[in-house]
């Protein structure tokens, strides 16, 4: 099997140059900084909820998170062998999905700071009989333990909004990418249509922490989710961040009414 480039992808590609932000729709103006646990300690919170993390992902996204991760596979280069690094790999869903769907992946490495999340990732890999196909390691995205030019593809799903400095992280990833290497990021965003956006805000602020508390016993973690989603510079603003860090051919593809977006760019 190969990683087929999704047809839909071609239709939603837009580049930074000559593409101004549509009013204030591309960036949340509702909050300025997360009031919950600090981003520095975010990994501890993920460790606490690691047992219920996958279940809550399925529940809270109505199962859409699976198809969003599958969509990432269409962004991998076709026909050439690639070494892939998945940052903030968590319980390993992205790395395992990509490794399963793409036979062009040579090395598949997942990195995260939360040891219990990684424990679940390793368990899942061995249940799927993939323990020899993927490698999970503990590490911080701000100081990647890899030499310059080590990877052809770097992926991050729902991780970058948790990092302390987005621009420094983008630069650090740039360092470990090979020339022509690709960065693909899946992250939450907000719907641009006003009515949808208002409904989604109610869901994020009121319902998500409630379900999070009922299932994991930790409502703080799911309030943090809302705070980080609302303060993340998504859409045009994030494409600009990528361009500033040196990435070229930067694209953004909104998914499911703009609730999530896939960003992609190359290291020249
Ligand atoms: C929302 S989870 C995403 C997990 C996975 N990528 C997915 O798609 O489900 C965010 C992950 O980022 C990790 N994380 C947060 N800060 C980090 C850092 N500085 N370095 C590495 N991982 C970090 C957390 O431990 C957590 O597992």
Q: What pLDDT, in 10s, does the model give residues 40-96?
A: 678 888 999 899 999 989 988 999 999 999 999 999 988 889 999 999 999 999 999
pLDDT of 38 above 60: yes
Side-chain-side CA neighbours of 16 within 13 Å: the count stands at 19
Report the distance separating Cα 81 and Cα 6, nearest Å: 19
pLDDT of 188 above 60: yes
Test site for ligand 1: of 63, 85, 90, 94, most ligand atoms within 8 A of the Cβ: 90
Ligand 1 atom 25: residue of nearest CA = 43
What is the 259 CA–ligand 1 centroid distance (Å)?
A: 19
Parallel/antiparallel/unpaired status of strands 260-266 and 177-188: antiparallel
Ligand 1 atom 1: residue of nearest CA = 158
Parallel/antiparallel/unpaired status of strands 260-266 and 248-255: antiparallel
Give ligand 1 pocket residues (Cβ under 6 A).
Answer: 42-43, 46, 88-90, 93-94, 112-114, 117, 140-142, 157-159, 162-163
Q: How far is the CA of 165 from the CAs of 90, 160, 183, 232, 249, in angstroms?
A: 19, 9, 17, 11, 22
Ligand 1 atom 27: residue of nearest CA = 90
pLDDT of 267 above 90: yes
* Class of residue 129 by CB neighbours under 10 A (exposed 0-12, middle 13-18, buried 19+): exposed
Q: What pLDDT, in 10s, does the model give residues 133-180?
A: 999 999 999 999 999 999 999 999 999 999 999 999 999 999 999 999
pLDDT of 119 above 80: yes
Provide the pLDDT confidence category of residue 3 given band limits of 50, 70 and 90.
low
As a whole-number percent, the residues of the chain with pLDDT over 90 amount to: 70
- Its pTM stands at 0.89
Test site for ligand 1: of 91, 144, 162, most ligand atoms within 8 A of the Cβ: 162
Provide the pLDDT confidence category of residue 214 given band limits of 50, 70 and 90.
confident
What pLDDT, on the 0 to 100 scale, is given for residue 226? Answer: 87
Q: How far is the CA of 253 from the CAs of 156, 189, 238, 258, in angstroms?
A: 15, 11, 12, 8
Q: Which CATH class is domain 7-25+43-191+233-266?
A: alpha beta
pLDDT of 185 above 80: yes
Q: What pLDDT, in 10s, does the model give residues 222-232?
A: 888 888 999 99
88, 158 Cβ separation under 8 angstroms: yes
What is the 17 CA–ligand 1 centroid distance (Å)?
A: 30
């Amino acid at each position: 099997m190969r990683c087929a480039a999704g047809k839909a992808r071609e239709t939603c590609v837009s580049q930074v140059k000559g593409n101004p932000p549509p009013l204030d729709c591309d960036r949340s103006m509702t909050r300025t900084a997360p009031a919950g646990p600090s981003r520095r300690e975010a990994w501890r919170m993920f460790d606490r909820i690691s047992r219920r993390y996958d279940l809550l992902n399925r529940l809270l996204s109505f199962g859409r998170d699976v198809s969003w991760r599958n969509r990432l596979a269409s962004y991998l280069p076709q026909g050439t062998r690639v070494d892939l690094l998945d940052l903030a790999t968590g319980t390993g869903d992205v790395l395992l999905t990509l490794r399963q769907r793409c036979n062009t992946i040579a090395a598949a490495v997942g990195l995260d700071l939360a040891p219990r999340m990684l424990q679940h990732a390793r368990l899942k890999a061995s249940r799927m009989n993939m323990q020899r196909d993927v490698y999970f390691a503990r590490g911080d995205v701000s100081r990647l333990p890899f030499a310059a030019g080590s990877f052809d593809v770097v992926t991050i799903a729902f991780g970058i909004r948790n990092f302390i400095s987005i621009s420094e992280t983008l630069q650090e990833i740039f360092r470990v990418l090979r020339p022509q290497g690709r960065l693909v990021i899946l992250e939450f965003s907000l719907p641009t249509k006003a009515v949808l956006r208002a409904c989604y805000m109610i869901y994020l602020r009121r319902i998500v922490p409630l379900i999070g508390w009922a299932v994991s016993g930790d409502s703080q973690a799911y309030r943090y989710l809302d705070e980080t989603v609302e303060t993340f510079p998504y859409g045009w603003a994030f494409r600009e961040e990528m361009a500033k860090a040196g990435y070229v051919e930067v694209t953004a593809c909104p998914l499911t009414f703009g609730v999530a977006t896939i960003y992609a760019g190359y290291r020249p």
